[in-house]
Every structure is written in C-alpha cells, then in structure tokens.
Amino acid sequence: MTAWPGRTALVTGGAGFIGSHLVDRLVDEGARVRVLDDFSTGSESNLARSGEAIQVHRGDLRDGEAVREALNGCDVVFHLAAIPSVPRSVDDPETTHAVNVTGTLALLEACREVGVRRLVMAASCAAYGNEPTLPKSETLPPHPESPYACQKLMCEEYCRLYASLYGLETVSLRFFNVFGPRQSPESDYAAAIPRFVTSCLEERPITIFGDGEQTRDFVYVEDVATACLLAADAEAAVGQVINIAGGKRISVNDIVAIVRRLTDCKVGPSYLEVRDGDVRHSEANVAKACDLLKFVSQVDLESGLERTIAHFRSPEELT
C-alpha cells in the first residue's frame, strides 16, 4: 500500500458508519483527513476517535461551494455520503435520487474542476438484484430492484464515464453487507445486524423480514476501510467496478442463531412480511478484488460479530 503521510484525503459521509472507520484508518496511516457530511445520519460521536486530527466540513453534497472548499488540495476522495437505504428509496425515490445521484454528479464535476486525482465510490451489491446466478460477478448484467439500487448503478456509470471522458481516476467498490461497530440500529430503515444485536442485548424479539432463509454476504467494516485504501492507488482499478465482500453467504436465520448464542439471548425471532425491494440471495465473487486490489477480507463473521456485540454493550468506549 502506498504511504499516506503528506497526502490529503476527503471522505464524504465521513461521520457515518463506514466513513468514520475509514477516517480513523486514514488518520492512523498518517494522511491529512477532511470530512464532508451533513450529519443527517452521521454523528459527532462516530468521529470521536480521530477528533482533533481531522478537518470537518459540515455541509451538503449538493452545495457546490461547500464541496469545492472541502476538495481544495485533495489527492483522493472517498465518496460515501448517501441515503443508503432500500426501503427509504422505495418510500421516497426523488429525495434519495437527489442526494445519491445528483449529489454524486455534482461531486464528480467539482473533482474535475479542482483537479482531484482519484475518486473511490461506495457502490452497492444491490445493483445485482434478484438475478439468480451465484456468486455475483461484476460481468453479470445488473438488475436493480429498488430506486436505491438504480441510483447506485447510475453513480457507477457516471464514475466510469468520468474516467474515460475526463481522465478523472475513478473506482466503484460494490460493497456487500457491511457490518460492525457504530452501525445504527435505530431508524426504521436500519440494517439487520445492529438491529439483531441490540434486540438480543435487550432481550426483545428479533424481527426478521420474510422467512429468514434469504442469504447475505457480510463483510466487516474494517476490511471495507482496507479495500478503500487499496482502491485509492491500485493502477489497474481505474474505471472499474469491484465487489467488496467476504465471499461467503449465510442465511439471516443462521446469523440470528449466532447472535443469540454470542449474547446468550433466550428470546426467539418473530417473522414479518418480506419488504419491497429486498433481494433473496446474495454472494460475491471476490476474485476481481483479489486480482486488482490484492484485497481479501481478514475478519471472519464470528469475530466481527463479537467485536460488534462488544461495541453495543459499551458504546461509550472508542471502537
């Protein structure tokens, strides 16, 4: 990995779950780090570990002036700011489009204008949809099942175009199901693992949408931060779309069983209707990440869950 001291990186969405882990990692590597975030779902507490070492720009991705100010002098941009929710996008396609697509396009334009070298974009496995082939390789035709998936796919296409048309080095990383400390369990749109963990710790029934036999490919958040750092410099990655995942799938029922065992939870799950836009099975082919980025996930599911549970038991400890 190329050394970071002396380089300036901007993390959009840096106060969020994945973004804040990436910020911590960049600070540890010696980079000068800026964050652009409107704190709509992100929080100050997520940035507590890197605190004084970073420069925070509180602003909206769609505000050209705020973006240009945050970008000035940056070598690399990690673009994670988004409204990252399938159900929210189903409820409100227009607002999510405005942030996820129009915001990304505005950022790409500003990068081109200011002369940023590379932008690493947080894309999503949602782009694959319910096309039945497993594991999912990047060469499969995309099949978005929700506005969110469609929006993330459009961002990938804009990134590819900005690389070929304008020479801005872009890399789209299709994250699969990321989990770990700081992931919010709270909103109506919260991801599964933090909801399962907090339900178990509070001895409340875990809610599963559908029959629980749907599968997901989970990847620990610190592994995702590593993948982002690798994507910032890998030469062969420019203009590419690359899966970032653990490379194994597990059913939601099996995840719940592990979380219940690790938390010693006696309360069983309850099942609700499957949600619109939810995908049935998901598993990544991770060969391209290994080939182009030399990325292989290091933290197995059970160790990641143990760390996540420890965080939710003592959220005030800096993780």
The interface with ligand NAD within residues 110-139 (CB under 6 A) comprises 122, 124
Candidates 178, 234, 241, 245; binder of ligand NAD (CB under 6 A) is 178
Placement of tokens 């002396």 in the chain: 6
Count of positions on this chain that bind ligand NAD (CB under 6 A)? 28
CA distances from 286 to 16, 156, 294, 296 (A): 25, 18, 10, 8
CA distances from 78 to 71, 192, 203, 207 (A): 11, 25, 38, 33
CA atoms within 13 A on the CB side of 4: 22
The answer to the question of residue 256 lying near ligand NAD (CB under 6 A) is: no
Of the candidate spans 15-23, 205-213, 261-269, 309-317, the one that interacts with ligand NAD by CB under 6 A turns out to be: 15-23
> Residue 3 or residue 48: which is nearer to ligand NAD going by CB?
48
| Six token digits for residue 254 | 């099996």
Candidates 4, 158, 175, 312; binder of ligand NAD (CB under 6 A) is 175
CA distance 301 to 219: 7
> Crossing angle, helix 147-166 and helix 103-114, to 10 degrees?
20
Candidates 11, 15, 255, 289; binder of ligand NAD (CB under 6 A) is 15
Least distance (Å) between residue 238 CB and ligand NAD:
20
| Six token digits for residue 252 | 């939601």
Of the candidate spans 172-180, 256-264, 279-287, 305-313, the one that interacts with ligand NAD by CB under 6 A turns out to be: 172-180
The answer to the question of residue 60 lying near ligand NAD (CB under 6 A) is: yes
The answer to the question of residue 61 lying near ligand NAD (CB under 6 A) is: yes
The answer to the question of residue 17 lying near ligand NAD (CB under 6 A) is: yes
Whether the Cβ atoms of residue 269 and residue 256 lie closer than 8 Å to each other: yes
Of the candidate spans 74-82, 138-146, 228-236, 290-298, the one that interacts with ligand NAD by CB under 6 A turns out to be: 74-82
Least distance (Å) between residue 245 CB and ligand NAD:
10
- What is the distance, to the nearest Å, from the Cα of residue 202 to the centroid of all Cα atoms in its chain? 27
| Six token digits for residue 165 | 């048309």
Whether the Cβ atoms of residue 107 and residue 79 lie closer than 8 Å to each other: yes
The answer to the question of residue 41 lying near ligand NAD (CB under 6 A) is: yes
The interface with ligand NAD within residues 261-290 (CB under 6 A) comprises none
**Residue 186-215 contact track with ligand NAD, rule CB under 6 A, x = bound:** -----x------------------------
3-state SS class at 212: coil
Buried b (16+ CB within 10 A) or exposed e, 172-197: bbbbbbbbbbbbbbeeebebbbbbbb
CA distance 172 to 289: 11
The answer to the question of residue 82 lying near ligand NAD (CB under 6 A) is: yes
> Residue 104 or residue 263: which is nearer to ligand NAD going by CB?
104
> Residue 8 or residue 85: which is nearer to ligand NAD going by CB?
85
> Residue 197 or residue 205: which is nearer to ligand NAD going by CB?
197
Whether the Cβ atoms of residue 48 and residue 318 lie closer than 8 Å to each other: yes
Residues at the contact surface with ligand NAD, assessed by CB under 6 A: 13, 15-19, 37-42, 60-62, 80-84, 99, 103, 122, 124, 175, 177-178, 191
